[in-house]
Amino acid sequence: MGTRPAELRALLDSVARQDGAAVRTVVVGNGAPVPELPEGVESVELPENLGIPGGRNVGIEAFGPGGRDVDILLFLDDDGHLPDTGVAEAVREAFAADPRLGIVSFRIADPDTGVTQRRHVPRLRASDPLRSSRVTTFLGGANAVRTEVFAQVGGLPDDFFYAHEETDLAWRALDAGWQIDYRADLVMHHPTTAPSRHTHYHRMVARNRVWLARRNLPLLLIPVYLGVWMLLTLLRRPSWTALKAWFGGFAEGWRTPAGSRRPMRWRTVWRLTRLGRPPVI
């Protein structure tokens, strides 16, 4: 959004230093002008902020319809950078070794402490962030996706704007038979922050969780999934202001269109369960 020119330059420099073939890079200005970029870096400026999924979908199209001009797409937030030069090559090797691997989620670590927050480990058993594993979702700001996944299941849900768009794509990819890996050895440095610092965070999280369930879950699981998350929200004892915003978003998720409904198959529910995260938690 044009507010981090120094951080963006550090990210682009870290991508340019990657071993192996050069990484073609596109910067999306999401409702903001793009600052001066290094030679060879492409850009797209949008007249308005389309939100995280909308901006990323525009970035995909910059590589041809559905990103078809390339085999793999990296998505990297502008306030992080890649400390190691072997990330791109490791990603290429991972996808070449497993034809059913659809998405790779990187490990996000604080550049000063090296600590990875639990919320940045995309599984329930998050106490050991250094353990790689198969997972059921991924981190939106540091990942790689095989473009064939987008061709088969579609892009990120534009209307979500912020929150849960990764899980929506992950569930559709898993239902189509793709695998998702969390790779602890692929590191992106990113300063430690709390998402709840944003005033709209609680409303968007609640609204999009309802949309996520309505779009993707079998009817029997929708009330279970949303009931579990309501209970977890109450147990976390947010402030009254945050709780009011959360319930407002929850109600909005029911009264507004959720988009196309494609409920996952029951065998996908079982697959998610075997991976350690049944789609009710």
CA gap 91, 15 in Å, rounded: 13
**pLDDT value, residue 195:** 63
**pLDDT value, residue 138:** 97
CA gap 268, 168 in Å, rounded: 14
**pLDDT value, residue 192:** 82
Helix and strand totals (H; E) in the chain: 9, 7
Collapsed DSSP state (helix, strand, coil) of residue 72: strand
Query: What does the H/E/C string look like for 145-169?
Result: EEHHHHHHHCCCCHHHCCCCHHHHH
**pLDDT value, residue 198:** 58
Q: For the stretch 18-27, what's the b/e string if a residue is b when 16 or more beta carbons lie within 10 angstroms of its beta carbon?
A: beeeebebbb
Rounded to the nearest 5 degrees, what angle is found at the Cα of 257, between the Cα atoms of 255 and 259? 150
* Per-residue pLDDT tens digits for 46-101: 999 999 999 999 999 999 999 999 999 999 999 999 999 999 999 999 999 999 99
What residues of the chain score a pLDDT lower than 70? 195-199
**pLDDT value, residue 199:** 58
CA gap 233, 32 in Å, rounded: 34
Q: State pTM to two decimals.
A: 0.95
Cα 15 versus chain centre, distance: 19
- Max CA separation in the chain (angstroms): 53
**pLDDT value, residue 176:** 98
For each of the domains in the chain, give its residue range(s) and CATH number, in order of start: 5-193 (3.90.550.10), 196-274 (no CATH)
**pLDDT value, residue 46:** 97
